[in-house]
Structure 1
Amino acid sequence: MVTGLITALIASICYGSASVLEAVAARRAEGLKVFTQPLYLMGLGLDGVAWVASLVALQFLTLFTVQALIAGSLIVTVLLAKMVFSTRLGTSTWWAMGLLVAGLVVIALATGEQPATGAPRLLAPVLGAVMLLLTVALLVLYRRRVPLAMSILAGLAASVSALAARGLELGGSLWQILMQPLLWVLCVAGVVAMASYTRALEHGSVGAMTAVFTVIEVVIPGVAGMLLLGDASRPGWEVAKFVAIALSLLACVWLAKQPGADPVHEAQSTHEDEEKMAGRGT
């Protein structure tokens, strides 16, 4: 279980760092040009490391635990924004981060080992059908400026990816792993989530879009993991775990609404203020 907690923490740090890099890149270019930005490619590399780390964590921990711990990446995003862009963190921001840290600690203490039960037979075809619908939605909405819809779409795709990763069996040979339909569902879902989230960052607030994305990717796969895959908490910790998850999600939304959660807008506002002051000086 310790291995799962460590890898989930690594995933959280990498995801939070990637969000800052990708947000800056999304403001420097638009459409497909974003994907050629060096900062975006660096962020994509960190996303890849985080993705692998989350796959490892899912071999030891339940979906709800892994997804909730990864939600802590928002703290990394806010702290990096303060260091890189000199954003100001108000009292409410520090309180939100403290609440989120406390919630994540309780979740880690309440987590149980991942159950040995395998994925239901219908999981792969159902997730494949859902992924097909989400891919069509991405193609239809991509050219429109609908950041909220794209953030929701990214959260749903990330949920599919998490469920597919949870049901994936990594104990066989490489060929056996490659032959599993869930692996390909996972890969397609990851691409759709990445493209949707990037598009949302182009036209929406980084903090707000991340909050929507985070809540969806924690709640949906977490509930599905309990109902379909038998995920559970440590005996006697059930209430504490769900209270901690609720507080953590509340802290995520609260934190995302703070100015420090939107590093690009903060940097732009500071630059505009400097230009106004310079203009007055002349």
Structure 2
Amino acid sequence: MAEEDRRRRDAVTAAGWSALGVAVAIGGWALTAAAFAIPEIVLPSPAAVVTAFLRLPGYLLEQAAITLTETVLGFALSVICGLAIGLLIAAWRVAELMFAPLLVAFNAVPKVALAPLLVVWMGFGQQPKVVMALLVCFFPVVLSVASGLTSTPPELVELARSLDTPRGQTFVRIRLPAALPQIFVGLKVAMPLASVGAVIGEFSAGDAGLGFVIVQAGGSADTALAFAAIALLGVMSLALFYALVLAERLLLPWVRETSAAR
């Protein structure tokens, strides 16, 4: 009971510090805009951004829902593909030698350069944005899966071998649980990147979504509306990230128990 109370207090304290950080950032933003008399078209004040959101709340939330759908679909596909390829690389040395250099080279290619090609191949619709989200967050998932599965503590592997444990059971009961913390690290890196990929796709091939709103608002010099869309995108990405953190805590309770308290 005392441990549960301590964790509850820690959670409240962490939330309080996070809220204070946001308040300091917004206050610094407002003071900078006011102190240097920066024009609204260059840097709108927080009040102007809130006003812009309240001017079109339904429209902005509708566009946020579109971007959210593209982000989640792209992330889900990256997890499926990343798990499959990461598992192949971890299980077969030849696959690692064949495909690891290609994956590194592909990851080095700026994904913005692929956006026009995706439009040519898939047209103006949801598909190129989802694929762009997949491409941007794919590499961290593959890397975390492969690294996690190949970094199983050797003493556990030797114990399984000494007990003549079948390879399938060794994977399910030892290697996969040992790899899950590392895999979730990659997933938490990839989640924000998925929203970045979706917005990149909307910049190039969008007729809807927050990226489209930013482009349209910038073209019409409505900087406050663009900032409102950016802020909404940040809130959406933050919510997705912490949803993944919550999933990790629920699925991997032993990680918190065995890791050093902070």
Asked if TM exceeds 0.5, the reply is: no
Give the TM-score taking structure 2 as reference length: 0.33
